Amino acid sequence: MAQNNSEIRYLTPLAVEVKKKKYCRFLRSRIKYVDYKDPQFLKKFLNEQGKILPRRLTGTSLKYHRKVAQAVKRARHLALLPYVTDMMK
């Protein structure tokens, strides 16, 4: 009984996700100011529904994540970005 769990055979090889080191794009490219007026750049931080992506996915540092969130909310106020949508990308 004990030995059969050692040679567990998977149908498909286990695709172990190689951990890509996330980096903050603002620190790397030394962008200091997130402009709320160009929606193209801000769209990189939104998902399909137009919601702001969390830091663990975008990997941005806290300071710049707050600036991005503030810029997205201003862009939404000015109708440059939708509050909610279905297929945005």
Residues lying near other proteins in the complex (CB under 8 A) are found at 32-33, 35-37, 39, 74, 76-83, 85
Burial track 9-29 (b if 16+ CB lie within 10 A, e otherwise): eeeeeeeeeeeeeeebebeee
Which C-beta is closer to other proteins: that of 59 or that of 82?
82
Which C-beta is closer to other proteins: that of 51 or that of 74?
74
Which C-beta is closer to other proteins: that of 15 or that of 84?
84
CB of residue 56 vs other proteins: minimum separation in angstroms?
Answer: 26
Residues 6+ apart with CB under 8 A from 52: 45, 46, 68, 69, 72
